[in-house]
Amino acid sequence: MDRIRIRGGNALNGTIAISGAKNAALPLMIASLLTDDTLTLENVPHLADVEQLIRILGNHGVDYSVSGKRLATTMGSGRTIHFNARTIVDTTAPYELVSKMRASFWVIGPLLARMRRARVSLPGGCAIGTRPVDLFIDGLRALGAQIDIDAGYVVAEAPKGLVGTHFSFPKVSVGATHVLMMAASLAKGETVLDNAAREPEVQDLAACLNAMGARISGAGTSTITIEGVEALSGARHRVLPDRIETGTYAMAVAMTGGDVTLEGTQGDLLRNALVALGDAGAEVSDVPNGIRIRRNGNGIRPVDVVTDPFPGFPTDLQAQFMALMTRADGVSHITETIFENRFMHVQELARLGAKISLSGQMARIEGVPRLAGAPVMATDLRASVSLVIGGLAAEGETTVNRVYHLDRGFERLEEKLGACGAEIERISS
């Protein structure tokens, strides 16, 4: 099993190219099930989750081809992939595939809308909370689906097709918003989704679906309206930049010091997190085609944050920000409101010398003057990269084990950091 070895203490200087967003690419790929024409996606990142979803889509009969080399020589250069679901050969998404990645459950919406039936295993993915599928099921039932749970599978049918409805989410859910927006695109009549997720990835999916012929308005607000159409066509769409990767590298620069331009990204995708970085002492500025992060000489100030749905502070940056706060001059607090089990990185950061105490969903971080390298274990995708950030600032050597988590969401991380002066390498078993 691969490991990453880091010798800390080097400031980061240079340019890092930001890849396409995993959290946007996955629902966009799934949207290919809605049409028998070709959907072409540009800027698709090279990630384990993308490869896993390609296998899952292939199980349903989706053909794909990649334009150009599968691994670009320029870091951040995503692939262009053509997906064609002309013939759906199977409407079952089996446990052995779905259990490896939660987002693969989302195929239930397009399959049900287009084929009028779907049998999808209950999902797996990172163990960061229960993340129940009740919202998905309730929303699809509101659209007219008949749904049963049978031996670990969600079995959904809509023999006469889905019908537009008015559905209000009891809590904000990005995944359920994706699924219901896709399903409602082929429903009869109008669907209104209230308390919908406002994330940029939801807006990106809506833009792609509209390019395919859907009639969606309001994406980016809490009320999304979908006027169903009989069929969708193919389209060409570019995946938006990864705001979580952007924030991760921004926090790495704030942690180590230095001056880095994050290229090919947009500050508006994570403005709340960038404000928190500025409050912590980093200089953050928008530049043409990117963001510049600097911290030269000044210390790290403590900042309190609360995770919230967009446009609030992203839960997917909570672990990274906690790593940064371990070196702050004072006490900071982080409150996690999205997932109830997302502090698993705390004990591993403590191995580096961090002083963190937990009280329910709040973490109290007492900044320390130094961290010391140590072997640590990645527990989930975002936790794993928080350990990398800690290791970049720690004295001595840090080894991050179980980095397959990193490969799910960060493209060529050690190369991007290494090009900016980090002493970091992957060790293959």
- Give 153-196 pLDDT, tens digit per residue: 999 999 999 999 999 999 999 999 999 999 999 999 999 999 99
Q: What is the mean pLDDT of residues 265-288?
A: 97
Query: What integer pLDDT is reported at residue 125 of this predicted model?
Result: 44
What confidence tier does 77 reach under pLDDT thresholds 50, 70, 90? low
Strands laid side by side in the 375-377 sheet: 375-377, 397-401, 3-7, 423-427
CA distance 392 to 251: 11
Domains of the chain: residue spans and CATH: 3-18+241-427 (3.65.10.10), 22-238 (3.65.10.10)
Query: What integer pLDDT is reported at residue 429 of this predicted model?
Result: 75
Taking only the tens place, the pLDDT of each residue in 106-144 is 999 999 999 999 999 988 544 434 446 899 999 999 999
Percent of the chain predicted with pLDDT > 70: 95
CA 92, chain centre distance (Å)? 25
Percent of the chain predicted with pLDDT > 90: 85
Q: Extract the tokens encoding 88.
A: 């759906």
Q: Active-site residue 208, yes or no?
A: no
What is the number of other CB atoms lying within 10 angstroms of the CB of residue 397? Answer: 15
CA distance 244 to 359: 26
Q: What is the mean pLDDT of residues 43-70?
A: 91
Strand pairing report for 355-359 and 331-335: unpaired
Taking only the tens place, the pLDDT of each residue in 323-350 is 999 999 999 999 999 876 678 899 999 9
Q: Extract the tokens encoding 114.
A: 């287009």
Query: What integer pLDDT is reported at residue 68 of this predicted model?
Result: 62
9's torsion region: left (phi>0), alpha (psi -120 to 50) or beta? Answer: left
Can you tell me which residue has the tokens 């930001």? Answer: 18
Q: Which of 366, 291, 241 is nearest to 15 (CA)?
A: 291
Query: What integer pLDDT is reported at residue 362 of this predicted model?
Result: 96
CA distance 108 to 92: 9
Is residue 70 over pLDDT 50?
no
Structure pTM? Answer: 0.94
Candidates 28, 126, 253, 385; catalytic one: 126
Taking only the tens place, the pLDDT of each residue in 335-392 is 999 876 678 899 999 999 999 999 999 999 999 999 999 999 988 777 889 999 999 9
Read off the amino acid at residue 210.
N
Give how far Cα 34 sits from Cα of 67, 82, 212, 235, Å. Answer: 22, 14, 9, 12
Q: Residues comprising the binding site for UDP-N-acetyl-alpha-D-glucosamine?
A: 102, 131-135, 171-174, 316, 338
CA dihedral 186, 188, 193, 197 (to 10 degrees): 0
CA distance 363 to 356: 7
CA distance 291 to 56: 35
Strands laid side by side in the 258-263 sheet: 12-17, 258-263, 290-295, 283-287
Query: What integer pLDDT is reported at residue 128 of this predicted model?
Result: 34
Decide if 81 contacts 44 (C-beta within 8 A). Answer: yes
* 3-class SS letters over the chain: CCEEEEECCCCEEEEEECCECHHHHHHHHHHHHHCCCEEEEEEECCCHHHHHHHHHHHHHCCEEEEECCCCCCCCCCCEEEEEECCCCCCCEECHHHHCCCHHHHHHHHHHHHHHCEEEEECCCCCCCCCCCCHHHHHHHHHCCCEEEEECCEEEEECCCCCECCEEECCCCCHHHHHHHHHHHHCCECEEEEECCCCCHHHHHHHHHHHHCCCEEECECECEEEEECCCCCCCEEEECCECHHHHHHHHHHHHHHCEEEEEECCCHHHCHHHHHHHHHCCCEEEEECCEEEEEECCCCCCCCCEEECCCCCECHHHHHHHHHHHCCCCCEEEEECCCCCCCCCCHHHHHHCCCEEEEECCEEEEECCCCCECCEEECCCHHHHHHHHHHHHHCECEEEEECCHHHHHHCCCHHHHHHCCCCEEEEECC
* HSE (side-chain half, CA atoms, 13 Å) at 122: 13
Q: Residues comprising the binding site for phosphoenolpyruvate?
A: 22-23
Mean pLDDT of the chain: 93
Higher pLDDT, residue 157 or 70: 157
Query: What integer pLDDT is reported at residue 129 of this predicted model?
Result: 41
